[in-house]
């Protein structure tokens, strides 16, 4: 049964990107992130009460709280970068870069946490890295065609870097707290950061300008994220993390599929080859 929950996590994560892409079309990306986080916060605390870990809140140490806060700040920065990249870039190009955080996380775990870098992990990183390059690299535009801005690329890489920092900081912080409670605490930090940025940039005035369709898709994307988390942690309860995590990372398959059928974003032979390499690299981590 845990396998179904693991794939459910991947499906919901794939939906998150598509629903968010539609929701932020006519909405400031920072405002959209702040709105989504409200829904995600509800789901994260729902998980806490489902497993009963709220009773352990008083026992959480100051060191654990510190690293959870730092992890939450990294998560918030990653989300803000990711949804800005989605707003101005194609889903099937932003998502592969975001998923490359797997490579950065393994490298940081090797440098900072002393985790072993095996030949298998190195091979997986190479496959994911080459696959990501193939998916995002473009041919040079003809002189007659105005070049498109690559600003989305910077935001996408920013999302990947902060996502990998989230994993490392979260790994340290989660050692002294139940995982669902740790996630809920981190989400509070994300929510505060997101709304601070909204008010500092004076984008809160645009809340009343958001149309009903955008509200609907932003809320739905929040529910998709929450659904992904619920399935993910349910799978981890009864399944091995070494299998659950790579399956969850296969959300890229669902994201690309949804972007093709719903957003009509086309895949070339090269980007398809890149996708296959990323999937092969991810699946190799199951071995």
pLDDT in tens, 103-137: 888 888 888 888 888 898 899 999 999 999 999 87
Rounded CA separation 78/216 (Å): 23
Tell me, yes or no, whether 137 lies in a domain: no
Domain-located, residue 276: no
Residue 226 lies in a domain: yes
Structure tokens at 76: 């918030």
For residue 142, pLDDT beyond 80: no
Looking at the 3D structure of the chain, how many domains does it have? Answer: 1
Residue 280 maps to a domain: no
Least Cα distance to 235 among 248, 249, 253 occurs for 248
Contact by Cβ (8 Å): 57, 258:
no
Is-contact 34 218, C-beta < 8 A? no
pLDDT score, position 239: 82
> Residue 209: which domain range?
2-102+146-267
Check whether 147 has a pLDDT greater than 70: no
Query: How many H-runs (helices) and E-runs (strands) does the chain carry?
Result: 12, 0
64-89 per-position pLDDT tens digit: 999 999 999 999 999 999 999 999 99
Give the integer Cα–Cα distance in Å for 81 and 152. Answer: 9
- pLDDT, one tens digit per residue, over 128-140 is 999 999 998 765 5
What count of Cα atoms within 13 Å lies in the side-chain half-sphere of residue 66?
A: 3
Structure tokens, 59? 């026992």
Global pTM? Answer: 0.85
Q: Report the pLDDT value the prediction gives residue 140, as an integer from 0 to 100.
A: 58
Better pLDDT: 287 or 97: 97
Residue 134 lies in a domain: no
Q: Is residue 107 part of a domain?
A: no
Say if residue 225's pLDDT is above 80.
Answer: yes
**Residue 277 placed within a domain:** no
Residue 126 lies in a domain: no
């Amino acid at each position: 049964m845990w396998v179904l929950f693991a794939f459910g996590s991947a499906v919901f994560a794939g939906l998150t990107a598509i629903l968010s892409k539609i929701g932020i079309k006519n909405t400031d990306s920072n405002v959209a992130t702040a709105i989504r986080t409200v829904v995600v916060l509800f789901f994260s605390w729902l998980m806490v009460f489902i497993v009963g870990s709220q009773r352990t809140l008083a026992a959480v140490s100051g060191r654990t709280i510190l690293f959870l806060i730092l992890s939450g700040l990294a998560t918030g920065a990653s989300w803000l970068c990711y949804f800005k990249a989605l707003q101005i870039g194609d889903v099937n190009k932003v998502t592969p870069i975001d998923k490359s955080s797997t490579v950065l996380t393994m490298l940081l775990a090797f440098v900072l946490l002393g985790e072993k870098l095996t030949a298998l992990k190195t091979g997986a990183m190479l496959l994911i890295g080459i696959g990501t390059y193939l998916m995002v690299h473009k041919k040079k535009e003809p002189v007659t065609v105005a070049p498109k801005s690559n600003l989305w690329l910077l935001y996408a890489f920013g999302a990947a870097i902060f996502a990998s920092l989230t994993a490392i900081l979260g790994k340290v912080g989660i050692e002294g707290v139940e995982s669902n409670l740790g996630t809920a605490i981190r989400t509070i930090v994300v929510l505060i950061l997101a709304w601070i940025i909204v008010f500092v940039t004076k984008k809160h005035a645009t809340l009343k300008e958001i149309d009903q369709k955008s509200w609907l898709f932003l809320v739905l994307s929040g529910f998709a994220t929450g659904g992904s988390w619920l399935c993910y942690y349910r799978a981890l309860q009864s399944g091995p993390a070494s299998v659950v995590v790579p399956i969850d990372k296969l959300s890229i398959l669902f994201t690309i599929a949804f972007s093709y059928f719903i957003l009509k974003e086309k895949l070339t032979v090269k980007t398809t080859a890149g996708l296959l390499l990323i999937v092969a690299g991810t699946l190799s981590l199951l071995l």
